[in-house]
């Protein structure tokens, strides 16, 4: 086992996925013969630049990369139809950085329009002073004793890049303008800060993601653990004073974890209503039908289709109101969207909002 001196770790570029782990806990390197697990931290050397030419730091800054740079990443599986499919390798042999947020993995396939992945050479798993491998799961936000969760809107979508984050952030902004204290969280996906920053910029009183709930990524994670993580995040948002929560679920309804999450009775119980983001009218109609079959209350449609007046018109076949960014960020419209999931005796009032929590 090699001692990891303070100067070396300070010079290494730490990725967003490692943001919850204090630098002072990174003390040693475990032998290259070790077997990595999802969430394990690894010190790696950039071998050759590919698709990702920078790494997102915990601060959100994108640090440019060059060959021979050392980086601290987290191992994880990745599912991204527009980029990579990748899995945690069985050893510390050469592999790839497959996400800008800092995910080490072995790329299996990638989109035709995506460059080959950035190649890395793992130098060892990062451990504490006792030789225990540091893992994202060991640094999740502290469990909250509260058994209550705020009324919750979930944003599902047809696919990656269908407009889910814009939909969620726009609703957060509209509800904030209406006087609500809004908590936001992304409950599945690949560790990166963009979506989190979007929620914060929109005015969320608190914003979290799955990296706060034990995961560097959620692809191939057990569905029960993902549901538990979502509940954990909701409890944490409630503890900050959030009166209503907006959750984003990554990818599309046919992606394995998203499909399982949507089918989960426990997750459905946490959900007051759904906004569905779609890139086209056909996807919008099919998605709404699927969610209703699963027992969800579809409160409206949004996403990229709202950029096209014709697509908006076609989406009328889904029998759901279509909301663009302008509508979602309007306080009166945002309040009307969520009014059905709030206790009917309570009203949004000027300068503030009140709502009842529900047992989870």
Q: What is the mean pLDDT of the chain?
A: 93
> Residue 92 in 3-state DSSP?
coil
- The answer as to whether 142 is a domain residue is no
How far apart CA 329 and CA 336 sit, in angstroms, is 12
Q: How confident is the model at residue 31 (pLDDT cuts 50, 70, 90)?
A: confident
Per-residue pLDDT at 346 exceeds 80: no
Same domain, yes or no, for 201 and 130? no
Same domain, yes or no, for 170 and 298? yes
Same domain, yes or no, for 196 and 237? yes
Q: Which residues in 192-228 are b (16+ Cβ under 10 Å) and which e?
A: bbebbebbbebbbbbbbbbbbbbbbbbbebebeebbe
Domain ranges, residue 100: 2-136
Contact 341, 154 (CB under 8 A): no
Give the pLDDT of residue 343.
55
Same domain, yes or no, for 28 and 111? yes
Same domain, yes or no, for 166 and 290? yes
Same domain, yes or no, for 47 and 168? no
Same domain, yes or no, for 19 and 46? yes
Same domain, yes or no, for 132 and 192? no
Mean pLDDT value of segment 215-239: 96
- The answer as to whether 354 is a domain residue is yes
How far apart CA 79 and CA 109 sit, in angstroms, is 10
Percentage of the residues of the chain whose pLDDT score is greater than 70: 94
pLDDT per position as a tens digit, 143-162: 887 667 899 999 999 998 99
Structural domain ending residue among the three candidates 113, 136, 159: 136
Same domain, yes or no, for 152 and 84? no
Same domain, yes or no, for 9 and 36? yes
How many domains in the chain? Answer: 2
- The answer as to whether 76 is a domain residue is yes
- The answer as to whether 123 is a domain residue is yes
- The answer as to whether 143 is a domain residue is no
Q: Residue 239: exposed, middle, or buried by beta-carbon count in 10 A (0-12, 13-18, 19+)?
A: middle
Nearest alpha carbon to residue 314 among 290, 284, 276: 284
Task: Tell the residue number behind the tokens 């590919």, with chain if given.
Answer: 50
pTM for this model (two decimals):
0.92
Same domain, yes or no, for 73 and 109? yes
Structural domain ending residue among the three candidates 112, 136, 160: 136
Percentage of the residues of the chain whose pLDDT score is greater than 90: 89
Same domain, yes or no, for 305 and 199? yes
- The CATH number given to whatever domain includes residue 306 is 3.40.50.300
Structural domain ending residue among the three candidates 136, 165, 189: 136
* For the chain, the helix, strand and coil percentages under 3-state DSSP, each to the nearest 5: 30, 25, 40
- The answer as to whether 38 is a domain residue is yes
- The answer as to whether 202 is a domain residue is yes
pLDDT per position as a tens digit, 85-117: 999 999 999 999 999 999 999 999 999 999 999
Lowest-confidence region among 23-37, 38-52, 283-297: 23-37
């Amino acid at each position: 086992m090699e001692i990891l001196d303070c100067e070396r770790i300070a010079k290494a570029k730490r990725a967003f996925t490692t943001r919850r782990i204090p630098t002072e806990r990174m003390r040693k390197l475990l032998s290259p013969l070790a077997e990595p697990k999802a969430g394990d931290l690894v010190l790696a050397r950039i071998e050759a630049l590919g698709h990702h030419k920078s790494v997102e730091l915990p601060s959100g800054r994108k640090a440019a990369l060059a060959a021979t740079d050392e980086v601290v990443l987290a191992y994880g599986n990745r599912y991204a139809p527009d980029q990579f499919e990748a899995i945690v390798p069985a050893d510390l042999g050469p592999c790839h950085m497959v996400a800008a947020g800092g995910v080490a993995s072995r790329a299996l396939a990638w989109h035709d329009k995506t460059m080959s992945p950035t190649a890395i050479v793992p130098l060892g798993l990062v451990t504490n002073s006792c030789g225990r491998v540091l893992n994202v799961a060991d640094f999740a936000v502290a469990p909250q004793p509260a058994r209550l969760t705020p009324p919750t809107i979930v944003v599902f979508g047809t696919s990656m890049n269908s407009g889910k984050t814009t939909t969620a952030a726009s609703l957060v902004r509209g509800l904030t303008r209406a006087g609500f204290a809004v908590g936001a969280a992304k409950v599945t996906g690949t560790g990166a800060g963009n979506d989190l920053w979007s929620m914060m910029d929109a005015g969320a009183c608190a914003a979290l993601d799955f990296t706060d709930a034990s995961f560097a990524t959620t692809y191939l994670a057990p569905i029960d653990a993902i549901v538990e993580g979502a509940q954990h995040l909701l409890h944490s948002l409630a503890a900050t004073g959030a009166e209503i929560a907006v959750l984003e679920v990554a990818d599309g309804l046919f992606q394995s974890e998203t499909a399982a999450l949507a089918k989960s009775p426990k997750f459905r119980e946490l959900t007051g209503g759904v906004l569905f983001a779609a890139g086209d009218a056909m996807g919008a109609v099919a998605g709404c039908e699927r969610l209703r079959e699963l027992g969800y209350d579809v409160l409206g449609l949004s996403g990229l289709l709202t950029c096209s007046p014709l697509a908006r018109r076609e989406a009328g076949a889904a029998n759901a109101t279509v909301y663009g960014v302008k509508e979602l960020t309007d306080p009166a419209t945002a309040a009307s969207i969520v009014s059905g999931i709030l206790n009917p005796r309570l009203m949004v009032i000027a300068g503030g909002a009140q709502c009842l929590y529900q047992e989870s």
